[in-house]
């Protein structure tokens, strides 16, 4: 079960700079650890995360084994039109996750 | 007339030996005296007060706090049907923010039905078995931690308030004695760090008073949320003692003693610790 939380202001003025935050529950397994019987635990990190604002890519992150578990990302975007921010990510084991949040832009 | 160096040294060494004797006397007999009465650290300070500014900030921000991921998951589980009867927690308890407020502050307590001391996680499992006819969730599983964190989160800000009564008196006394008993290769008791030396440094760490009011908490070292029992087990490991299993009576009794000892501190779940 993938769980993520997205936070952005419910409404903003056109042209306003808004803060966008996302936190994803994920072990971000580094590949450098061993289990209790000594077998290497395969690397499994969210290697790519993309955020699209009304279909247009506004943010992309490529992550590696240096990022802690349950990654938290924060960035800024300009509010241009009402709509939604859609996040999509994929980890090394091929699991995809998505999360979206709506924003309404007032003139 | 000047004293000879030898004489001066002799005098000093007698005085030193007497001091050493007093300190030794104190170390040998003081624990026995303490065992009779349980002492609380004064003033009471939650573990967050010993944490660095960045950890405090992380705990204070309900979005950045990674423990909130478990709380949100618990919120979902709260209204998900479970067990053969397909019953949700909501069916009996309604809205958790109302019905569960203050509940976590009263645990661990003796469950009347089970007639034994249980912590909040155990109580959730008892509820699953009795009322939902669902399987008990595995200890330290994400599901149980999520539900426990969600329920405890409803008591955030409520002062811990466990009461001592004839039912839990024995458990409390055993917990208190365990707290003061020297264990492990390091031959240390809980009290040596968390009563006598809190606020001091242990390598790079500041020793806290050892309260459980933030648990289940997100520990950066674990990269995950964990229970108070997991944290206590880490202390057993630290003093190189034999580590009790999850759910061991010894750990429950310690949890009860810790809760009593921290009575009055606000619940912080989900806390963030290093």
Q: What is the pLDDT of residues B110-128, one digit of tens each?
A: 999 999 999 999 999 999 9
Give this prediction's pTM. Answer: 0.87
pLDDT at position A103 is: 94
Find which of A23, A29, A97 to mutate to test the B interface (most B CBs within 10 Å of its CB): A23
Is the minimum CB–CB distance between B274 and chain A shorter than 8 Å?
A: no
With a CB cutoff of 8 Å and minimum separation 6, the contacts of B184 are B236, B239, B240, B241, B242
Q: Beta strands B271-273 and B217-219: pairing type?
A: parallel
Considering only the beta carbons, identify the residue of A21, A25, A28 that sits closest to B69.
A25
Domains located in chain A, CATH noted = 4-106 (2.60.40.10)
pLDDT of residue B7: 40
Beta bridge partners of B224: B219
Residue B51: C-alpha distances to residues A67, B55, B204, B210, B272 (Å): 22, 6, 12, 12, 9
Catalytic residue check, B235: yes
pLDDT value at residue B274 = 92
Strand partners, A3: A25
Reported in sequence order, the residue ranges of B116-270 that DSSP labels E, i.e. its strands, are 116-118, 201-202, 205-206, 217-219, 224-226
pLDDT, position A2: 72
pLDDT band at B74 (very low <50, low <70, confident <90, very high): very high
Which of A3, A23, A27 comes nearest B63 by C-beta?
A23
Question: pLDDT per residue over A49-98, tens digit each?
Answer: 999 999 999 999 999 999 999 999 999 999 999 999 999 999 999 999 99
Beta-carbon separation of A69 and B224 below 8 A:
yes
Q: Flag whether pLDDT at B32 surpasses 50.
A: no
Among A54, A89, A76, A62, CA closest to A7: A76
Q: Report whether B199 contacts B207 (CB < 8 A).
A: yes
Cα–Cα nearest to B265, from B177, B156, B192? B156
Q: B63 touching A, CB under 8 A?
A: yes
Averaged pLDDT, B132-136 = 95
| Per-residue pLDDT at B30 exceeds 70 | no
Q: Averaged over B18-28, what is the pLDDT? A: 43
Q: Average per-residue pLDDT in chain B?
A: 89
Q: How far is B220 from chain A (nearest CA, A)?
A: 9
- Show residues of chain B in contact with A3, CB under 8 Å: 69, 72-73
Among the partner-chain residues A7, A21, A23, the one whose CB lies closest to the CB of B69 is A23
pLDDT in tens, B191-226: 999 999 999 999 888 999 999 999 999 999 999 999
Interstrand relation of A83-91 and A46-53 (parallel, antiparallel or unpaired)? antiparallel
Is 50 exceeded by the pLDDT of residue A33?
yes
Residues 145-204 of B with CB under 8 A from A: none
Residue A1's pLDDT band, with cuts at 50, 70 and 90, is: low
Q: Compute chain A's Rg from CA coordinates.
A: 16
Matching residue, tokens 């469950």: B111
Tell me the three state secondary structure of residue B227.
coil
Which DSSP state fits A33? Answer: -
Whether residues A21 and B63 touch (CB distance < 8 A) is answered with yes
Measured between beta carbons, which residues in chain A are less than 8 angstroms from residue B220? Answer: 68
pLDDT at B39: 80
Pairwise CA distance, residues A27 & A65, whole Å: 11
Mean pLDDT of B66-95: 95
Task: Output B180 or B2, whichever has higher pLDDT.
Answer: B180
Residues in chain B closer than 8 A to A27 (CB atoms): 223
Contact B63 A68 (CB under 8 A): no
ipTM: 0.92
């Amino acid at each position: 079960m993938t769980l993520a939380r997205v936070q952005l202001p419910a409404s903003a003025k056109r042209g306003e700079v808004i803060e966008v935050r996302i936190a994803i529950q994920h072990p971000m397994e580094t590949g450098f650890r061993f289990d209790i019987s000594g077998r290497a635990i395969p690397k499994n990190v969210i290697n790519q995360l993309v955020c699209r604002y009304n279909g247009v890519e506004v943010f992309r992150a490529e992550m590696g084994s240096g990022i802690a578990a349950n990654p938290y990302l924060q960035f800024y975007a300009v509010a241009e039109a009402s709509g939604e921010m859609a996040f999509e990510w994929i980890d090394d084991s091929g699991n995809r996750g998505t999360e979206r949040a709506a924003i309404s832009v007032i003139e | 007339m000047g004293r000879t160096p030898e004489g001066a040294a002799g005098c000093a060494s007698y005085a030193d030996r007497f001091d050493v004797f007093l300190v030794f006397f104190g170390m040998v007999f003081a624990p026995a005296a303490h065992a009779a009465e349980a002492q609380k650290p004064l003033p009471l300070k939650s573990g967050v007060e010993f944490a660095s500014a960045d950890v405090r900030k992380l705990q204070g921000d309900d979005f950045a706090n990674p423990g909130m991921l478990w709380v949100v998951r618990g919120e979902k589980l709260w209204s998900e049907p479970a067990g053969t009867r397909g019953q949700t927690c909501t069916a009996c308890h309604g809205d958790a923010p109302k019905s569960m407020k203050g509940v976590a502050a009263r645990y661990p307590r003796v469950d009347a039905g089970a007639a034994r001391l249980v912590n909040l996680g155990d109580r959730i499992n008892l509820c699953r078995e009795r009322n939902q006819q669902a399987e008990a969730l595995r200890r330290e599983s994400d599901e149980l931690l999520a539900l426990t964190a969600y329920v405890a989160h409803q008591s955030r800000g409520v002062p811990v308030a466990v009461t001592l009564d004839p039912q839990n008196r024995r458990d409390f006394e055993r917990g208190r004695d365990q707290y003061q008993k020297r264990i492990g290769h390091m031959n240390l008791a809980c009290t040596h760090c968390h009563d006598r030396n809190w606020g001091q440094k242990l390598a790079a760490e500041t020793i806290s008073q050892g309260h459980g009011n933030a648990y289940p908490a997100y520990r950066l070292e674990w990269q995950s949320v964990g229970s108070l029992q997991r944290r206590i087990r880490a202390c057993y490991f630290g003093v190189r003692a034999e580590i009790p299993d999850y759910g061991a009576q010894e750990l429950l009794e310690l949890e009860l003693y810790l809760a009593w000892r921290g009575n009055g501190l606000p619940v912080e779940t989900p806390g963030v610790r290093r």
